[in-house]
Structure 1
Amino acid sequence: MSRRFGRGAARRLAVRLTATVAAAAAGAVVFSGTASAAPAPAAPPSLQTLLGDLTRTVPLAQDLFGGILATPGVTEVIEGVTGQEVGTTTAQDFLFPAPTFGCGVAGNPMTVTVASAQSGPNFPIPPWIERGHLRFQAVPAHLEIPKQSDLQVAWFNVNTLKSGVVPLDDTILNVPTLSKTVDTGEGIVLAALFGGVNYESGATCTALGTVGQFTA
């Protein structure tokens, strides 16, 4: 092999290697730039998501007042000023919704009446209920404002043997609230709810009845 041929071959090989390295470097730069590019920004949360987060993070009124009442000295001050026993309770449901006839949603002739009872002491958070009392409440699944309540609750305290039958005839601004606070005395109270509710349209919801056991 001649010296001239060897030098030419070496020169051509060097040129090819240089071109290959340059191409690889350019490809690496392009690839690296693509891989390191910032990802597209995420879509903003929907209004429904924001409202859901707010609902989960905002405390309920009962929880908020409960925290205030837990502050040392606050309960004593309120009781000293008002003469009422301070406390917080929650409503207890009857065993099942009462089957209800004569009214309903979207023209249906049948619906249900949901009922509950809440014990005391529940103060100063409404509804105000004293110890040894139960507040009975009923709500027929019918989209009208009640005109008259003929709902009744028969109750029996198994500890004191006290009993009674009371109408749920409390009102606010002459509108029936379908509720009544009853002095049942402390103990286990058995109760049955039944009766009807009249509405301005002439419809009448007649609840066949439901039963429950509550602690007063």
Structure 2
Amino acid sequence: MSRRRFARSLGVLFAAAIAVAVPTHAAADTAPAGVPVDQLRAELAGSPDLVDALDRLVDAARTPTILEPPPRNIPQPFMSPAPSVGPGCGGGFTPFAMTSGWAHPGPHANPDIGFGEMKVYVQPTIPVQPAAADLKFVWMNMENFRAGVATLDDRIGGVPQLSTTIAPGPGPVMAALFGSVQYVNGAFCQVVYTMGGFFV
């Protein structure tokens, strides 16, 4: 399929995704990652922030959008950086910054990600080592109508990397990012919700 036809089809797909029945699979071991959207919503009932993020993705999926798929195997940024607030978040006494995030679809050798996988990562807002992080990534695959939640919890030598690898399966993926990052110098960032559209 040409890139132009794919882009047109994507707009229709985004608009119709929620109205289409979730496909069934012959065996559990062949099912793609994630769970049906309604099932995930029920599982997240005790986490209103995560439910709200999922519902925003569902609402966005009802709006037709024509997107041109980017080349494969390159980092794809979120649609906009996330406003971030907190003591020292922007450096010194500055309590405000914009947090940038990307998703890198596979297959790729560095980072080591396979087909149908994507590495999600966030850039620190200050040149200081993170001490702790609680960044959530809520995703929904618009081709297989499955969704999931991941925490950016990669660590190297105990140091938070503000990243994780997920396997939403191939296709267009809509996702939301929010949470918090604390740095070793005491700076703290509350990362406000932002949304992205990616091609895996």
Rounded Cα–Cα distance in structure 1 between residues aligned with 2:85 and 2:146: 32
Structure 2 gaps, min length 5: 1-71
Query: What percent of counterpart residues are identical?
Result: 39
Answer yes or no: is 1:117 the counterpart of 2:117.
no
Equivalences for residues 148-159 of structure 1 within 5 A:
148-159=132-143
Instruction: Calculate the TM-score normalised by the size of structure 2.
Output: 0.61
Q: How many pairs are equivalent?
A: 127
Contact 1:140–1:205, Cα closer than 8 Å, also in 2: no
SS in 2 for 1:127: coil
> In the alignment, what sits opposite 1:197?
181
| 1:107 CA drift (Å) | 2.0
**Counterpart in 1 of 2:31?**
none
- Structure 1 stretches of at least 4 aligned residues deviating more than 4 Å after TM superposition: none
Matches within 5 A, 1:137-148: 137-148=121-132
Whole-angstrom CA distance in 2 between matches of 1:194 and 1:172: 22
The offset of 1:202, in angstroms, is 2.4
Selected match of 1:210 from 178, 194, 197: 194
C-alpha separation in 1, matches of 2:144 and 2:134? 27
Over aligned residues, Cα RMSD in angstroms?
1.2
Query: 1:116, 1:157 → 2: CA distance?
Result: 17
TM-score w.r.t. length of structure 1: 0.57
Choose between structure 1 and 2: higher helix proportion.
1
Question: Which structure has more RCO (C-alpha within 8 Å, separation ≥ 6)?
Answer: 2
For the pair 1:167 / 2:151, whether they are aligned, the reply is: yes
- Determine the C-alpha separation between the residues in 2 that align with 1:185 and 1:196: 27
Letter in 2 for 1:121: P
Greater radius of gyration (CA): 1
Name structure 1 gaps, 5 residues minimum: 1-87
Give per-residue Cα distances to partners, 1:11-54, cap 9 Å, x unaligned. xxxxxxxxxxxxxxxxxxxxxxxxxxxxxxxxxxxxxxxxxxxx
